[in-house]
Structure 1
Amino acid sequence: MSKKVTVKDLVKEFSLEVMTDWNQLHRPIEVSDLHRPGLEMAGFFTYHPVERIQLLGRTELTFLQGLDEQTRANRLMEFCHPDIPCIIITRKLEIPRELINGAKKSRVPVLRTSQATTRFGSRVTNYLEYNLAPSTTLHGVLIDVYGVGVLLMGSSGIGKSETALELVKRGHRLIADDAVEIYQYDENSLVGTAPKLIRYLLEIRGVGIINVMTLFGAGAVRDRKRISLVIQLEAWQEQQHYDRLGLDEENYTIIETEIPKLTIPVRPGRNLAVIIEVAAMNFRLKRLGFHAAQQFVQQLGKAIEDSDDFSDE
């Protein structure tokens, strides 16, 4: 699922000046890439990306001024394709009359900003990548533990929020409780955040809803975090086999992206906050190339080989 962005959203977000076609601001924007039409201004329209926002700055408009009036009119008429979401002029530059005429004929909104072209383009791209990214919402708690984004999952009442509260008390940071909005920024990157309505809030049964930022300070929360590790909390089952060495590696798939997953059994007496801290630190060590379980197995294998060699003698 992706959010929908319209030209009207862009006008509101960046305080853009609407120069033509107020009634066309409902047009959807479906790609995050922008296009600066240098080749089109020179007359090459073979690969004109009409699905993108068209951004015209000082370079493009200065080039147009050097063309004769008839050539400029023809180029801009062909440039103003009806499928273009909108055309944005930067630096509050004067808009060529031929561009206004072509845009009105094709009913393409023309907008203007006072910002510099490169800076504005970067801001718009970031905004669109965030709002057009594939997304989903999962039931869980997202915590930043030693710089590792840990997504706690499990059935209702298993202790996710209480564990998150203990982790916050130990100096870690809460991102989201109960509902985690997850966005895919690129192929292997998932970022989680909290819905605005419940941001910084934590629900503790028997106490109620608490505001973590108010109680523990701004350093106890953050707005978003990349998800690096999923920890599934489940009630301890005596007949269930749990990994005791750490060699069994599982993955959890979110929006077609695989995230390393650990399953931690819950029962009275287990300090889940400490276990999750250790899991996060161990995850960081694995990324640095140190795998304690594999090293143990290698040393054990070597010890057995040495013992066999000694017995043969």
Structure 2
Amino acid sequence: MANNNFVTVSTIQERFNLVNYTTELNLDDAHVTVADVNRPALQLHGFYEHFEPSRIQVIGNVESAYLSKKTDAEKAESFSKLFSYEIPCVIFCRGEKPAQVLIDEATKAKIPILGTDRSTSEFMAALIFSLNMDFAPYTTIHGVLVDVYGEGLLITGESGIGKSEAALELIRRGHRLVSDDVVEIRRPNSESLYGRAPSITQYLIELRGIGIIDVKSLYGVEAVKDEQRIDLVIKLEDWTKEKEYDRLGMTDEYMNILGIDVTCHSLPIRPGRNLAIICETAAVNHRQKKMGYNAAEELYRRVQDNINS
């Protein structure tokens, strides 16, 4: 399902620490509804064919240089036309400041004008990524998300099977908690998934018999992380003699989340097994596979060489 229907311009201002040049306007009333942005160079010259007014308009060095050659009357005319469309806001980059005539036109049209010292291309990339996260399809999964050596490890399984205990041991081994119990997952593009905790349970872990513990308070800020890309799923399940478990890892299993297949390992639980070490090893092994080395394939190659020799 989709995430948000809109993001307020006040949220964008706070997120990127933008200067507000139209202080008379309430930024909560201006809504952003799409993740794309636009540099209105052609529009300032009067070309509005295929113009998308729902996008944030970003003014960079080129647009500022063009405007500097115009008189105040010409600037007012250009922006009066631009502001006749219901655009969410205009953002000036590289520390460029809008002329007072532009601020007056914007205030009249109730279009916020903001500013930043960041370079145009760098700011646009950060803004688009942020908006993609806001508008990305999302879902929630019952599980625990931990950052293990940079790999996002999503631990799933039935309630009470030991997910939180495994996460706590991983934290004690120097890894970082992202979310316990409920993981909010977003798909900002067709290749990656990002998980985070609901704000109400952020940094908290529930341990049966003990209760709620605050990981950030107990272990410090280095033990938690706000958001993490999901790279691997560990599915904990009760061990049964009747089921055959993969012992070589020659073929990968996958779990489909929001249309993306994520590598998944089913891990049988038996007394005496150290779940944290197994999860840690699975994350390192997955990372090694991404770097081009597969231990199972190496074993197969050795066996074949031994047979052929």
TM-score band (shorter)? 0.7 to 0.9
CA–CA separation in structure 1 for the residues paired with 2:133 and 2:173? 31
For residues 14-70 of structure 1, the C-alpha deviation after alignment (integer angstroms, 9 at most, x for no partner) is 354262883684343122332222222223322323221112356434423433666
Asked if structure 2 preserves the Cα contact closer than 8 Å seen for 1:21 and 1:108, the reply is: no
Q: Is residue 287 of structure 1 aligned with residue 297 of structure 2? A: no
Q: Is residue 41 of structure 1 aligned with residue 7 of structure 2? A: no
Q: Per-residue deviation at 1:277?
A: 1.9
**2:3 match:** 2
CA–CA separation in structure 2 for the residues paired with 1:171 and 1:93? 46
CA–CA separation in structure 2 for the residues paired with 1:213 and 1:98? 46
User: Which 10-residue stretch deviates more, 289-298 or 24-33?
Assistant: 24-33
Which one has the largest radius of gyration? Answer: 1
Structure 1 stretches (4+) deviating beyond 4 angstroms? 68-74, 119-123
**2:192 match:** 189
Q: Per-residue deviation at 1:99?
A: 7.1
SS at match of 1:268: coil
**2:254 match:** 251
For residues 61-102 of structure 1, the C-alpha deviation after alignment (integer angstroms, 9 at most, x for no partner) is 442343366654543333224231222345462435367447
SS at match of 1:240: coil
Amino acid at match of 1:238: K
Q: Is residue 113 of structure 1 aligned with residue 115 of structure 2? A: yes
Asked if structure 2 preserves the Cα contact closer than 8 Å seen for 1:232 and 1:261, the reply is: yes
TM-score (normalizing by structure 1): 0.84
Asked if structure 2 preserves the Cα contact closer than 8 Å seen for 1:55 and 1:88, the reply is: yes
CA–CA separation in structure 2 for the residues paired with 1:33 and 1:178? 33
Structure 1 unpaired stretches of 5+: 307-313
Asked if structure 1 preserves the Cα contact closer than 8 Å seen for 2:22 and 2:107, the reply is: no
RMSD of aligned Cα (Å) = 2.8
Amino acid at match of 1:10: I
For residues 153-207 of structure 1, the C-alpha deviation after alignment (integer angstroms, 9 at most, x for no partner) is 0010111011111222222222211111222233212222222222221111001
User: Which 10-residue stretch deviates more, 213-222 or 72-81?
Assistant: 72-81
Aligned residues: 304
Equivalence map 1:14-25=2 (5 Å): 14=17, 16-17=19-20, 19=22, 22=25, 25=28
CA–CA separation in structure 2 for the residues paired with 1:231 and 1:191? 16
CA–CA separation in structure 1 for the residues paired with 2:19 and 2:134? 18
**2:280 match:** 277
Asked if structure 2 preserves the Cα contact closer than 8 Å seen for 1:20 and 1:109, the reply is: no
TM-score (normalizing by structure 2): 0.85
Structure 2 unpaired stretches of 5+: none
User: Which 10-residue stretch deviates more, 78-87 or 94-103?
Assistant: 94-103
CA–CA separation in structure 2 for the residues paired with 1:103 and 1:47? 26
SS at match of 1:185: coil
